[in-house]
C-alpha cells in the first residue's frame, strides 16, 4: 500500500533524508563513524512492534543507501539474551543472512552493487561474556560471585533487542531505479509488514510492504 507524501509524511521524509544523508557520508568514510551517527539518530526511529520492520532508502547520485531495522523477535523468535548455543546460532544465522545484500535485495531495471555493509546484532557484545562465564562455572562450580557479575552485564544490555543493517550500493543508471524487491519475508516469516520510506530525486514517499507485495515502488 502506497501513501502520498503530504503533511506529516513530508516531515518524516525530510527527517529520513537528513538521517540517511548523515549515514551515507559516514558509511563512505568508515564503519566506526557510521556507528556513531546511528547512535545519534536512534531517537528518530519509532518504538519497535513485533511483526513489523522498517526499511528506509535514500539515493544520492549513483549511491543508494538502505537501512533495515527489525525487532529480534521477528528474525530469531525471541527477545532476550541467548540462553544456549542454539539461540546464539539463530542470531548468527540472521546476521549472516542480513550480511548478504545482493541476495536480500534486487533492483529491476538497473544494476546496483553493494560496496559497504554494516550489520548490528543484538547481544553480540555478550557472546564472549557468556563464554567466559561458562568456563568459570566449569572450573568453579561452587563459586557464584563471578556469575552474578556477568548476569548484571546481561541485564544492563537487555534493552538492545533490534537488528539493524545498512547497505551502501553503487547503482549503474540510477535514474532507472523504480523498484526495490526483497526476499526478507521468505527468509524471516516472523516479519508480517515492512514500513518503508524513501527519498530519491523527484520521488519520495512511504509504503507498507507485505509478504504478498514484497516490492517497494519508488518511481
The full set of domain ranges for the chain reads 2-122+161-217, 124-159
- Which region, left, alpha or beta, applies to residue 156 given φ > 0 means left and ψ of -120 to 50 means alpha? alpha
> Please, how many CA atoms are within 13 Å of residue 148, restricted to the half-sphere of its CB?
4
Cell of 201: 530525486
Sign of CA dihedral 17, 22, 26, 32: negative
Helical spans, DSSP H, in the chain: 8-29, 31-41, 72-76, 85-98, 101-104, 127-139, 145-156, 184-187
pLDDT at 181: 97
The closest of 199, 198, 20 to 208, measured between CA atoms, is 198
Question: How does DSSP classify residue 141?
Answer: T
71 in Cβ contact with 79 (< 8 Å): yes
The closest of 207, 187, 211, 210 to 198, measured between CA atoms, is 207
User: pTM for the whole thing?
Assistant: 0.72
Rounded to the nearest angstrom, the gap between the alpha carbon of residue 173 and the centroid of all alpha carbons in its chain is 26
Question: How does DSSP classify residue 86?
Answer: H
Cell of 65: 543507501
Cell of 214: 514484497
CB burial string 47-61: b at 16+ within 10 A, e below: ebeeebbbbbbbbbe
Dist CA 130 CA 32 (whole Å):
25
- How would you write the pLDDT of the chain (219 residues) with one tens digit per residue? 554 444 444 444 445 555 555 655 555 554 444 444 444 444 445 556 889 999 999 999 999 999 999 999 999 999 999 999 999 999 999 999 999 999 999 999 999 999 999 999 988 766 554 554 444 444 445 445 444 444 444 444 445 589 999 999 999 999 999 999 999 999 999 999 999 999 988 889 999 999 999 999 997
pLDDT at 124: 72
Cell of 186: 521468505
Dist CA 24 CA 59 (whole Å):
9
Dist CA 75 CA 163 (whole Å):
8
Cell of 16: 529520513
Dist CA 210 CA 204 (whole Å):
19
pLDDT at 7: 45
Amino acid at each position: 500500500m502506497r501513501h502520498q507524501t503530504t503533511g506529516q509524511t513530508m516531515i518524516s521524509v525530510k527527517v529520513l533524508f537528513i538521517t540517511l544523508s548523515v549515514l551515507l557520508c559516514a558509511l563512505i568514510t568508515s564503519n566506526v563513524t557510521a556507528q556513531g551517527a546511528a547512535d545519534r539518530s536512534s531517537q528518530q526511529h519509532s518504538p519497535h512492534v513485533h511483526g513489523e520492520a522498517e526499511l528506509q532508502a535514500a539515493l544520492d547520485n549513483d549511491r543508494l543507501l538502505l537501512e533495515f531495522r527489525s525487532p529480534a523477535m521477528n528474525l530469531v523468535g525471541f527477545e532476550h539474551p541467548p540462553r544456549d548455543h542454539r539461540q546464539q546460532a539463530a542470531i548468527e544465522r540472521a546476521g549472516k543472512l542480513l550480511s548478504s545484500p545482493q541476495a536480500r535485495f534486487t533492483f529491476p531495471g538497473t544494476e546496483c552493487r553493494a560496496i559497504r555493509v554494516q550489520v548490528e546484532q543484538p547481544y553480540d557484545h555478550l557472546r564472549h561474556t557468556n563464554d567466559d562465564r561458562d568456563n568459570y562455572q566449569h572450573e568453579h562450580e561452587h563459586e557464584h560471585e563471578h556469575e552474578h557479575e556477568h548476569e548484571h552485564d546481561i541485564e544492563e544490555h537487555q534493552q538492545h533487542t533490534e537488528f539493524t543493517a545498512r547497505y551502501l550500493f553503487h547503482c549503474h543508471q540510477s535514474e532507472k531505479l523504480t523498484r526495490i524487491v526483497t526476499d526478507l519475508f521468505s527468509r524471516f516469516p516472523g516479519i508480517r509488514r515492512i514500513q518503508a520510506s524513501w527519498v530519491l530525486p523527484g520521488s519520495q514517499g512511504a509504503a507498507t510492504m507485505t509478504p504478498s507485495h514484497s516490492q517497494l515502488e519508488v518511481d
